[in-house]
Structure 1
Amino acid sequence: MDEDFVVKVTSDLIKINSQNPPGYTKGVVDYIKDLLNDNGIKFEIYEFEKNKQNLIAKIGNGSPTLILNGHMDVVPPGDESKWIYDPFSGKIVDDKIFGRGATDMKGGLATILVATLQLSDIIEKSTGSLIFVASADEEVGGHAGMQGLVKNNLIKGDAALIAEPSGYNRVSIGEKGLCQTKILTKGIPSHGSMPILGENAILNMYKAINIAKETIDELNSKIIIPNDVEFAIKETSKTYESVIKEKKLNISVEDIEKQLKSVSFNPGVIKGGSKINMVPDYCELELDMRTPPGCKCENVRNLLKNKLNGIAEIYPIDTSESNFTSTEERITKIALNSVEKILNKKPELHIESGATDGRYLRAIGIPTIIYGPGELFLAHSYNEYVKVYDLKMALKVTKNIITEFLNIKSS
């Protein structure tokens, strides 16, 4: 089983359509099961929603225990005519593997799977243990995946590595919180030719949005970022420089840094009115906000509720608090040292602007890092790919992290 095996596994996984919705993962699980069976590794399958299977394999029974996690579902490919190659072809061209999920995150899943297979024998003989987790449902919140596994007390360990696409030379230590919120405004219906006789819920929403935006802007001027993640945010901002140039955006790296330190404000969906010649009596807005470390979603919602009292109603949609793993944690130090050792270059620290399954593990006290091949900017894009070089380097680094954390030496 040489290093080219990770390339084959990545291509094979891409060929298995696991787009979410519907998020069925049985095909991926069957593929992983065959490889585990071939290597004599035992596993269990858990299902919290029909056809959304999760797989857990454990090697060894000692301590410390390291968890490796990757999600199997991918987002839909969108307009397939905009793809150079079939989005589920797993085609390898010019040292790139193309297809939906190549970066997010069939490449990362392949990396931790192959690392598990290649190190299984020496882990079995060691004093530590490794838990491999292939989870479902991450792309729609992880409720039938990692959240279900954690809620049912099925995962325990001393640290975790999630192979989301950090980039093979970066280690991600945290993520912004998720504060998705619904805002409702009401009105009084009347004929559209005489709106003065009614009250327009859409115009009330316009007022509510402006107040909400002003409130968040004011809040952002007071947020204090914890020292542990300040440097990671600066490093993350620099990774956006090439994207800014490529897309010719009229923003700077400093603007990116400011955004990562702030509560983001994105009105994503708005619905209101039923007919053009009627004054609408109802309007709703789905507002996506991401909170930085040092800022709690509950506080943000309460602030908006107070400011919009008498104008609009506020309801939660989905919530997860910002979370991070200290640079002083053993898993973080080992990951950073492994990148430097294998690549012979100083690693970059990173923080995620979006949510990952890491939130569920950190919530139960498991120090968790994100490390995997691919570039986050390629996730969910047309013509998504992962580089072969990145896969091979990430595999080497991942294996070093495992052996260092479990205090064993690979052969």
Structure 2
Amino acid sequence: MLSLNNCKAGAKVENTEKIAILQKLIQIQSVNGNEAAVARYLASLFEPYRESAQVEFVTYSPGRDNLVVTIGHPNGKQLGLSGHEDVVDPGDLSQWHHDPFAGEIVDGQLYGRGASDMKSGLAAIVIAMLELLADKTPLKGSIRLLATVGEETGEYGAAQLTKAGYADQLAGLVIAEPTGLDKIAYTARGVIDYHVDSIGKSVHSAQSTKGINAIDNLIVFYNEITAMMQGLDKIDPVLGGLLHNVDLISGGEQINTIPGKARLSANVRTIPAYPNQMIYDILEKLVHRLNDRSGFQLKLSYSYPEEAIPGRPDAPLVKLAQKIGHRIIGNRVIPVGSGGASDASEFLQSKARFSAIVYGPGTNTSHEADEYVEIDEFLQATVLYRKLALAFLEGE
């Protein structure tokens, strides 16, 4: 098992060992589960520093452990460094030219499921903390690793940690999701997945007047909600407009039977101008109004909604990360918006008030076959996070 036992005081972790840590993480098959194996492995890396690092497992369910590691001084500011332990399914293996769970290296690129999203970011923040411990670097405050379960399917690990108070002392948060080290996401869309179940009455299609067509009722809902969402036409200068897409419709039993059940599922990508509660109100009022009509029986439900993150491009954490990033990569680092949700949406609901950024190594191959990360960028990230943490706690 890899560890940093041989890292002498004042020394830095060798690049070969950093890469080996990332490879080991990719070899752990944490596809929408099995995060406990990731948590145990990461915790083992902190074992040589058990007197200086507080390591906590927070179990979500069997085989699924969040990991919280805190180092530094309890007095002073606390910086959160966060990454998720789960990955999405590799899909059709015939589309891969590299084993998705091997961590193969070819021409300076490390391949595997999670190489970009986001085990490279997770490994980099862990390595940064391990190097600070190995160096015995005095910290003017503390750093907290928040390694979460279930981000890919609803951020419920982050929600659990937030509810338990693990983000209540944060003064800033860095989510190591892949942006590339030349971009920092400071604002992000929210997300609402919702479902509308329609109950009708099945009869033989030759006697359709005796039945209630559940699909027809969903079509009425579809047309009305589409028009209502199109009316929400404010444009965020960074994120753009609100997006509403009906992505799944299913129903019916066979072609000569009036459908008695049907379901519609849709995805909404919100912006700060339209908070999630406003969308809930619109959906619920429409369902209630339609259910007042004869023959309608609609039921609304949600799946893991996340709030949009407003953010400011001139926030101190953004400016500091830009400065440190520029020093490391030698190029300008640009503040941008993100179209996807992250664990930041949950952590920002804690009792503390702090800025959060998404900033991490990776490529635009997330969730694709032959997902990869550039090794040089991953190694740069390990240095960047260490320097960013020190500068943040120093109050730069």
**Structure 2 length-normalised TM:** 0.88
Percentage of pairs with the same residue: 28
The one of 177, 190, 195 aligned to 1:182? 195
Question: Which residue does 2:356 correspond to in 1?
Answer: 368
Which moves more between the two structures, 100-109 or 42-51? 42-51
Does residue 5 of structure 1 match 2:17?
Answer: yes
Paired residue type of 2:85: M
Question: Which residue does 1:159 correspond to in 2?
Answer: 172
Paired residue type of 1:290: R
Unaligned runs of 5+ in 2: 1-12, 291-295
Paired residue type of 1:362: L
Which moves more between the two structures, 118-127 or 278-287? 118-127
Distance across 2 between alignment mates of 1:313 and 1:408:
51
Partner SS, residue 150 of structure 1: helix
Paired residue type of 1:113: V
Partner SS, residue 117 of structure 2: helix
- Contact 1:75–1:100 (8 Å) recurs in 2: yes
Paired residue type of 1:324: P
Query: Does the C-alpha gap of structure 1 residues 16 and 381 become closer, same or farther in structure 2, counting only changes over 3 Å?
Result: same
Query: Does the C-alpha gap of structure 1 residues 123 and 337 become closer, same or farther in structure 2, counting only changes over 3 Å?
Result: farther
Question: Which residue does 2:370 correspond to in 1?
Answer: 383
Distance across 2 between alignment mates of 1:301 and 1:325:
23
The one of 57, 70, 92 aligned to 1:58? 70
Paired residue type of 1:262: G
- Contact 2:54–2:69 (8 Å) recurs in 1: yes
Shift of residue 19, structure 1, vs aligned partner: 0.8
Q: How does 1:24-103 map to 2 (within 5 A)?
A: 24-40=34-50, 41-61=53-73, 62-103=75-116
Distance across 1 between alignment mates of 2:332 and 2:171:
26
Shift of residue 140, structure 1, vs aligned partner: 1.5
Shift of residue 196, structure 1, vs aligned partner: 3.8
Question: Which residue does 2:117 correspond to in 1?
Answer: 104
Does residue 338 of structure 1 match 2:320?
Answer: no
Tell me how large the CA RMSD over aligned residues is: 2.1
Partner SS, residue 345 of structure 2: helix
Query: Does the C-alpha gap of structure 1 residues 294 and 386 become closer, same or farther in structure 2, counting only changes over 3 Å?
Result: same
Paired residue type of 2:72: G
Unaligned runs of 5+ in 1: 234-259
Distance across 2 between alignment mates of 1:408 and 1:280:
63
Paired residue type of 2:221: A
Task: Report how many aligned residue pairs link the two structures.
Answer: 371
Question: Which residue does 2:145 correspond to in 1?
Answer: 132
Question: Which residue does 2:264 correspond to in 1?
Answer: 285
Query: Does the C-alpha gap of structure 1 residues 351 and 271 become closer, same or farther in structure 2, counting only changes over 3 Å?
Result: same
The one of 213, 225, 244 aligned to 1:212? 225
Paired residue type of 1:294: A
Distance across 2 between alignment mates of 1:408 and 1:137:
33
